[in-house]
């Protein structure tokens, strides 16, 4: 029995050294990242039993993806391997004030986008407590949307709860497409995650809507099921069955902004797996995200004791000796 199973794409990420632009760089830093696998890595490092399902090219780079995810304790034995397709790539130019960061995708026809329902490993979906999905996978193409829907149905029919991160990517699909393609996930999932700006767009609220108005409308739409809205530097707000809690953040030095939302999801899901209160789950999620911002790369390379120490401190301490 797995605590949580997820399906998604992990890509090669190439970035210039900060603060250079891509067109200036003579060399590029290599990382690997994907929302679902990042979340599973965070959960696995906290002690959860996790499984990642994907489709990868059977060559050195695809094998490296599996090794890197597996070394953190995630079960990668159910990856579908192919000799015919490519690994998805994206280029990330980090922000350097006043210039924002930018992502350039090169993922068309990647191995994962050709994952067929007939290839999908069923056994992990029949033996898990939670199934986690994101809007990134739904955005890729109709075939993957169908595969994800089938996986959700299979997991739920065997007793699993469903977690869904809306995780909107404007470079993959428009907001109207995202709303149409994910509405059933948003309304039926046991737990959903939204960034506030995306929740406002999804709910068609005014841009200046209060945090409380957004979370209350989301919970109303979802009949009181657990809903979480992140608020950027101000923290996060969550609601479930009429109970609403807020957690503030602590300012951190940012070494790696990518993957913070995935670390947040991992922290909150760990609280759900541990039967913690809504407030404790939200505090843990915020701590995971804050710690991830101090770590380069996409994956939350954290230990449980790091989060416990972070939550117990009123201010950062010096070297742990």
Q: What is the pLDDT of residues 41-84, one digit of tens each?
A: 999 999 999 999 999 999 999 999 999 999 999 999 999 999 99
Q: What is the pLDDT of residue 297?
A: 86
What is the token pair recorded at 207? Answer: 């841009």
User: Residue 23: is its pLDDT beyond 60?
Assistant: yes
Sheet holding 102-106, edge to edge: 29-33, 11-15, 89-93, 102-106
Closest among 157, 158, 175 to 166, alpha carbons compared: 175
CA–CA separation, 163 and 286 (whole Å)? 17
Q: What is the pLDDT of residues 255-305, one digit of tens each?
A: 667 889 999 999 999 999 999 999 999 999 999 999 998 888 899 999 999
pLDDT classification of 317: cutoffs 50, 70, 90: low
Residue with tokens 């609280």: 271
Q: What is the pLDDT of residue 96?
A: 80
Q: Which domains does the chain have, with CATH numbers?
A: 2-304 (3.40.1190.20)
User: Residue 316: is its pLDDT beyond 60?
Assistant: no
Which conformational region is residue 246 in: left (phi greater than 0), alpha (psi within -120 to 50 degrees), or beta? beta
Closest among 157, 169, 278 to 219, alpha carbons compared: 278
Are the CB atoms for 39 and 269 separated by under 8 Å? yes
Mean pLDDT in residue range 180-204? 98
Neighbours of 156 (CB within 10 A): 16
Q: What is the pLDDT of residues 208-238, one digit of tens each?
A: 999 999 999 999 999 999 999 999 889 999 9
Q: What is the mean pLDDT of the chain?
A: 94
pLDDT classification of 253: cutoffs 50, 70, 90: low
Share of the chain above pLDDT 90, in %: 86
CA torsion sign, 126 to 130 to 136 to 139?
positive
Question: Based on C-alpha coordinates, what's the Rg of the chain?
Answer: 19
pLDDT classification of 90: cutoffs 50, 70, 90: very high
CA–CA separation, 189 and 155 (whole Å)? 12
Catalytic: which of 3, 85, 198, 262? Answer: 262
Q: What is the pLDDT of residues 138-183, one digit of tens each?
A: 999 999 999 999 999 999 999 999 999 999 999 999 999 999 999 9
Reduced 3-state DSSP string for 231-264: CHHHCEEEEECCEEEEECCCCCCCCCCCCHHHHH
Give catalytic status of residue 262 as yes or no: yes
pLDDT classification of 254: cutoffs 50, 70, 90: low
């Amino acid at each position: 029995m797995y605590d949580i199973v997820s399906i998604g794409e992990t890509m090669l990420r190439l970035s210039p050294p900060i603060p250079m632009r891509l067109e200036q760089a003579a060399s590029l830093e290599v990382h690997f990242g994907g929302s679902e696998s990042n979340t599973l890595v965070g959960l696995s490092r906290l002690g959860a039993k996790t499984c990642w399902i994907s489709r990868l090219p059977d060559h050195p780079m695809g094998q490296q993806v599996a090794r890197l995810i597996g070394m953190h304790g995630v079960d990668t034995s159910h990856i579908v391997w192919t000799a015919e397709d490519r690994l998805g790539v994206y280029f990330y130019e980090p922000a350097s004030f006043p210039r924002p960061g930018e992502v350039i995708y090169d993922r068309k026809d990647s191995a994962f986008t050709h994952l067929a329902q007939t290839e999908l490993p069923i056994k992990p979906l029949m033996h898990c407590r939670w199934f986690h999905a994101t809007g990134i996978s739904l955005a890729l193409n109709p075939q993957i949307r169908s595969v994800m829907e089938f996986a959700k149905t299979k997991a739920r029919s065997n007793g699993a709860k469903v977690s869904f991160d809306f995780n909107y990517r404007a470079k993959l699909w428009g907001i109207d497409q995202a709303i149409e393609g994910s509405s059933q996930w948003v309304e039926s999932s046991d737990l959903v995650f939204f960034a506030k700006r995306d929740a406002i767009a999804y709910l068609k609220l005014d841009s200046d809507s209060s945090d409380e108005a957004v979370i209350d409308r989301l919970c109303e739409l979802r009949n009181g099921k657990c809903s979480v809205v992140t608020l950027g530097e101000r923290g996060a707000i969550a609601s479930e069955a009429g109970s609403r809690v807020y957690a503030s953040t602590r300012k951190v030095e940012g070494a790696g902004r990518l993957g913070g939302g995935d670390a947040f999801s991992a922290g909150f899901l760990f609280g759900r797996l541990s039967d913690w209160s809504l407030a404790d789950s939200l505090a843990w999620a915020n701590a995971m995200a804050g710690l991830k911002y101090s770590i380069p790369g996409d994956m939350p390379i954290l230990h449980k004791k790091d989060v416990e120490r972070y939550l117990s401190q009123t201010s950062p301490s010096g070297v742990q000796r």
